[in-house]
Amino acid sequence: MLASLLRVGDGGLKVTSLMGTVSVGRFKTAHMAALATATAVLYSMWKRWRDRPQGAVFMPGHWLLGNLPEFLQASWRKEQLDFLCEQHRHLGRTLAMKFPFTSWWVVTTRPENVEHILVSNFANYPKGPWWQSKLFDLLGNGIFNADGQAWHQQRKTASRMFTANLFKEHIWVVVRRNARKLRDLLESTKPGQQVDIFNLMNRFTLDTIGEIGFGKCIGSLEDPSSPFLQSFDKAQQIAFQRFVLPVWRPLRWLGIGHERETRKHFQLLDEYSHSVAQDLRKGLSRDTGRAGIAWEDIETRKSFIGLFLQDAKKRGQELSDDYLRDLVLNFLIAGRDTTAQALSWAIYLLCMNPECEAKARREIRDVCGVRGPAYDDMSRLRYVQAVLSETLRLFPSVPLDAKYAQSDDVLPDGTVVPRGTTVFYNLYSMGRDHAIWGEDAEVFRPERWLEMESPPSNYAYPVFNAGPRECLGRRLAIVEMKTCLAMILPELSFRLAIPVDQVMPDAQLTIGMSRGLPCTVVRASEPREVDDLASTASAVGQSGKATSSGSCTSEFAVDEEEDNADSDGQEEEKPC
């Protein structure tokens, strides 16, 4: 007995002596474990209380689980974004939230806070370990997930990708070719046949970024059955769940729950992106004797990843396979999802607002005539631009973005942010914030963009982010979306094939459509039946008056002097 008491220490001497000699050791060990656990829990609760943000409104929640139960419920119903909107509306514009086993969240919709995080105190707000660990399987050290030197180097090379020449000679031609394919596909649908516009838009943007990014013909518009596409979506859903469920690591290790298929999907993505990288290397190392340059070698050289490879070669460096894999996946996600989502939400909103659709169609016909869209037309499609800006306001492709507070800080609205806090800026709620957009914030009204004296700041409308990490593909995305609408709207119109309340955002990091966008395609000249129009009010909220006024000279217009490319470039006839 003495030996057992000595072994377990002296903390429970009285209890063990009452319990008799046989069970003492086991009982005491259990007690000690319970005591240690209770101490750890109490310590972590005390630490959490000590490190809490101050000056923000605390969202009421469970004493132990914090805001996890309501947030999980809302995510389960795919209503997590509206749930947060409601909380902001009722509690305030800067909220503090807590989840078990993770740092405090501060969630803000104040433009001055956004400016502070993204620009004025940029150095204090990296992506940070909390964000990076969850996305590492998917994004590795790619530009989206990297901080510091690793990010800076990629940013420097990547910012040279969107030169005016590349736009004129290559990017625009690829975009138009794929938009034409998309239009042909839509035109070939039979009357009454349902097509999932969200799926088609994803294929359009995937093929486009495949060609522009890696010189690769992915061909998903022709053949949508690629298992890569399914894994690509699944991997992003898994990554999102990790932000909400704190126990994802053990689940991944055990291969259960939402991490059940993690290995399979990430392995498929790894294999695909490694093979893309290898093809690129081969393309670049192939003999490029003047007479024998293969078309795919030229595409390779002009592609984003090709530029990275050539850049490294000039510096006498060899890029590793893993580095290239990360580049490929980062550009695929950047280039495919965001743009396809914005286009799909735009079509949805036009379905719900036929008078806006008619205005956009009229403008496209006036500007582009019968010849179809040309690069020069892009800056003249001002109403179409307003439709896109308005769509991104209501459905920003990145609805919530977060940074990690590296040291203690105070936000401009007075919120005290302790080191280690995750600071979110809630773009989805900002787009519906009456303080920014006026009483009709929930209404889809593209005209508001044409009435403004000057466009809103990047901090009130950070849909492309702002500051040193502003989106690099902004111009590409705008050209791609305008070309797509200008190609399909003159002749075609869409009717929702499901009830409007079934069109809803997905629980992902970007704002996908959880059930797609099933529509039927009709000729634009076909009259619309009254029943076609599901309740517009339910889609966009109550109407009111905009507070901003004036005229908007399209913030996103393509630079006039860079905008005079020959729209009928020779590449049009090439493969893909």
CB of 343 to ligand HEM, least distance (A): 8
CB of 417 to ligand HEM, least distance (A): 18
Give the per-residue contact string, 398-417, with ligand HEM (x = CB under 6 A; - = no): x--x----------------
The one-letter amino acid code at 504 reads M
Region binding ligand HEM by CB under 6 A among candidate stretches 27-35, 75-83, 269-277, 466-474? 466-474
CA-based angle 437:442:445, to the nearest 5? Answer: 75
Reading the block at residue 483, the tokens are 């070309």
> Within positions 375 to 394, which residues make up the interface with ligand HEM, using CB under 6 A?
392
- Closest C-alpha among 414, 424, 427, 420 to residue 464: 427
CB of 338 to ligand HEM, least distance (A): 3
Count, residues in the chain? 576
**505 with 512: CB under 8 angstroms?**
yes
Reading the block at residue 549, the tokens are 């006024």
Q: Which is nearer to ligand HEM, 385 or 397 (CB)?
A: 397
Q: Binder to ligand HEM among 338, 344, 429, 483 (CB under 6 A)?
A: 338
Rounded distance, CA 64 to CA 427, Å?
28
Q: Which is nearer to ligand HEM, 304 or 437 (CB)?
A: 304
Region binding ligand HEM by CB under 6 A among candidate stretches 51-59, 88-96, 332-340, 370-378? 332-340
Rounded distance, CA 161 to CA 475, Å?
11
The residue sitting closest to ligand HEM, measured at its beta carbon, is 473
Reading the block at residue 564, the tokens are 């005079």
- Does 178 contact ligand HEM by CB under 6 A? no
- Does 229 contact ligand HEM by CB under 6 A? no
| Cross-strand pairs, 426 | 400
**100 with 91: CB under 8 angstroms?**
no
Rounded distance, CA 122 to CA 25, Å?
55
**78 with 395: CB under 8 angstroms?**
no
Sign of torsion over alpha carbons 8, 12, 17, 23: negative
Reading the block at residue 138, the tokens are 């998917």
- Does 469 contact ligand HEM by CB under 6 A? yes
- Does 179 contact ligand HEM by CB under 6 A? no
CA-based angle 207:134:279, to the nearest 5? Answer: 35
Integer Rg of the chain from CA: 27
Region binding ligand HEM by CB under 6 A among candidate stretches 9-17, 181-189, 331-339, 443-451? 331-339
> Within positions 145 to 174, which residues make up the interface with ligand HEM, using CB under 6 A?
155, 158
Q: Which is nearer to ligand HEM, 378 or 392 (CB)?
A: 392
CB of 529 to ligand HEM, least distance (A): 32
- Does 463 contact ligand HEM by CB under 6 A? yes
- Does 144 contact ligand HEM by CB under 6 A? yes
Under the rule (CB under 6 A), what is the footprint of ligand HEM? 143-144, 155, 158, 331, 334-335, 338-339, 342, 392, 397-398, 401, 463-465, 469, 471-473, 476-477
